[in-house]
Amino acid sequence: MDWRDRPVFVTGATGLLGRWLVPMLCDLGATVTALVRDRVPASPLDPRATEVRGVVEDADLCRRIMTEYETDTVFHLAAQTIIGTARRDPLATFRTNVGGTWNVLDGARRAGVRRIVVASSDKVYGVHSGLCDEQLPLRGRSPYDVSKVCADHLALSYGAVVTRSGNMFGGGDLNWNRLVPGTIRSAMRGTRPILRSDGTMVRDYVFVQDVVRAYQLLAEHPEAVGAYNIGANPMPTMGMCRLILAATDRPDLEPVIGGPASDEIPSQMLDATRLRGLGWVPSEIHAGLRETVQWYRDHL
């Protein structure tokens, strides 16, 4: 697949994933139009992309962008991703995650877009034991999880490719409530990191640049259909916290146990066999953490 001059539309372009996906697409020669809700000084949009200010809740705007820019490929990343925020304001979360996805999908249909890749989440699986593959039923129960289940089903009904990623980490994540950036900041300040749980919850961690590569592969392979898991490193949150502290050269800092987390899924591990079948190979987690730590050292 030749990306040169290919018109691409990216929503959520200044989020953790978007800030790495957009430069990659520009490097490949794509003509990128990015929908940006808020300007983030620490996460600026690549200047080679065309910025359009707005939100995915605006159906007319989404349709206009894809029609006027003759979009060929869409990466829909925009979402309200904070579980706590979803609990406090579920309606706004549904408007963004469900209604926004609907607007992008139908706008793409009307504009004749050929390829759509939609960001879902591993949270759609809900509580399962063992590895989750793409054939499992979706059992999300909390407001955030349900919003992604709805968006997931909508995307598949429109023929989009759906990605169900584990916990992404990488430079540019400024949500300090998340384990990786929060622990790095604490280590850089010489303070003990605080876990939101008792440290036993298992999550599948994946380096953001590996996720970017997965999106590229899914867009390039016309035979790729349905849902694809993106996961690489399942481990307890305490184990991940200690790896981060080691990467920041502060293994002496003992994490503070925050106590049992409410409404959290105990264990999530992803089977990424389908994605690996397309040639996807994740990087080694220690290398990803070193790159991530270096980003924060350079930018904080």
Active-site residue 144, yes or no? yes
Question: Among residues 125, 144, 205, 228, which one is catalytic?
Answer: 144
Question: Whole-angstrom Cα distance, residue 300 to residue 294?
Answer: 10
H or E element, residue 244: helix 237-247
Question: Whole-angstrom Cα distance, residue 156 to residue 295?
Answer: 35
User: Strand 202-207 relative to strand 233-236: parallel, antiparallel, unpaired?
Assistant: antiparallel
SS3 content of the chain, % helix, strand, coil (to 5): 40, 20, 40
Q: Residues for the chain: how many in total?
A: 300
In the chain, the amino acid numbered 134 is: E
- Residue pair 187/241 in contact (Cβ under 8 Å)? The answer is no
Question: Whole-angstrom Cα distance, residue 119 to residue 229?
Answer: 11
Question: Whole-angstrom Cα distance, residue 74 to residue 66?
Answer: 9
Question: Whole-angstrom Cα distance, residue 245 to residue 228?
Answer: 31
* Unique residue bearing structure tokens 């003759």: 70
DSSP string, 112-143: T-SEEEEE--GGGG-S-SSEE-TTSPP---SH
Per DSSP, 269 falls in state E
Question: Whole-angstrom Cα distance, residue 94 to residue 151?
Answer: 9
Give the catalytic positions in this structure: 144
